[in-house]
Amino acid sequence: MKKRMFISLASALMLLNSINVSAMDITSHAACVIDAQTGKTYYSYNENEPLAPASMTKVMTVYIVYEKIADGTLSKNTLITADAEDEAASNDSEATNVPLICGTQYSVDELIGAILVPSACAASAMIGKYISGSEQKFALLMNSTASALGINAYYEDASGLSDNNRITAASMAQLAKVLITKYPDVLNYTSLTSINFKGKSYKSTNNMLPGKSYEYPGTDGLKTGTTQLAGCCFTGTAVDDDIRLISVTMHSEYSSARFEDSIQLLSYGFEQAHYMYDNILATDMRLFINGNEVPAFAYSGPGEGLYFIIEDLKDYGFDIAWDPSAKTVTAHLNSDKPVTPIPLDIYKGYPAGSIFMPIEKDTALSAGVSLGKTTYTFKHVYSLNGYTAVSADELGSISASCTWDPAAKRLDIIT
């Protein structure tokens, strides 16, 4: 049984971009920005310190609601009747709320909107009670869910009003990533600048949405939080092209600071992410196929690892076939074909981590390799000005052997 090799580039690449992390003026006590697809952290500060999240607690509440919708316990049309406790809680002037009337039914859909847009605390407690029987029991479910997700968090209520709730910035980002990835429908709520709740309009607390005071391109979520203990917090998310980032700021001294910090985090993160997503990079790692060194490159976006140009295999005992109708290039192993290794001097002038060639987007290109009776279609394929970059890790997964020597930074593949 072949063991799949994966080469992490986390320590192998030095990104050469124009933004200096130290130049950012982050005032929040803790902060981070991560890639929602790859999970890569682009910047972090005090990210592992447990802090009070205030109403960002509601992200876990909503995640559990979506879990219950997914397993059939709830639907968006499920009606929940407010009781006297819910009505009293909704009139708390110290908390953000929408009014709940005792004896009135509210749909899960309405409550999700109230929780995520104007950050209704009583609505959070109400839906938690419905799911678990009491808010205290719901908090136990929140904690067991956090444990199952592997995040560092502790909850005592569904809304974030408790000063005992804790989560780290890193775990807050991870929770948001899981929620958005698993239940992207949540963005249909968090992207709203306002909702209509029982005939009255309520504005979003997220001031980075379109038309708001700190509008940031591509923002469509996620959740603010504010208490005296927690300060001002914000978990944000934005999209640029095919890249989604998640930023977290915790314990900002004033409301606007969390958005100012988030703008810096996202801008820095997108600069980093585009460098990784949009380019094949030079590397000091080496690739050998059947004992012959093949020009190797690095990619640090989705499908991170060591790459090579599949058309180069024509010099290493493979025949190359091109199907223009399917836009597919395939390398066929030919044991009778002579090997004429490519001179590698031309590649030595590129420092590791520097851009070797930009990736062409939206080419619908595919690539495969045929090793005798085995044919494999690469999952990660990138077009490079008429050439096709594919993953050496993927080739290694179907080959007879694949060995990585970390000291020599060398991958050997025997097909």
Other C-beta atoms lying within 10 Å of the C-beta of residue 291:
11
Q: Residue 184: CB partners within 8 Å, gap ≥ 6?
A: none
Spatial separation of the C-alpha atoms in residues 285 and 295, rounded to whole Å: 10
For the question of residue 119 being annotated catalytic, the response is yes
Q: Are strands 219-227 and 231-240 parallel, antiparallel or unpaired?
A: antiparallel
Q: Which of 28, 40, 44, 55 is catalytic?
A: 55
Say if CB 192 and CB 244 are below 8 A apart. Answer: no
For the question of residue 55 being annotated catalytic, the response is yes
Q: Which of 28, 44, 119, 159 is catalytic?
A: 119
Spatial separation of the C-alpha atoms in residues 46 and 252, rounded to whole Å: 13
For the question of residue 348 being annotated catalytic, the response is no
Q: Which of 58, 129, 177, 223 is catalytic?
A: 58
For residue 363, the cross-strand partners are none
Say if CB 230 and CB 239 are below 8 A apart. Answer: no
Spatial separation of the C-alpha atoms in residues 162 and 352, rounded to whole Å: 49
Spatial separation of the C-alpha atoms in residues 255 and 226, rounded to whole Å: 8
Distances (CA, A) of 394 to 2, 37, 379, 381: 12, 19, 8, 11
Spatial separation of the C-alpha atoms in residues 115 and 132, rounded to whole Å: 18
Q: Which residues are catalytic?
A: 55, 58, 119
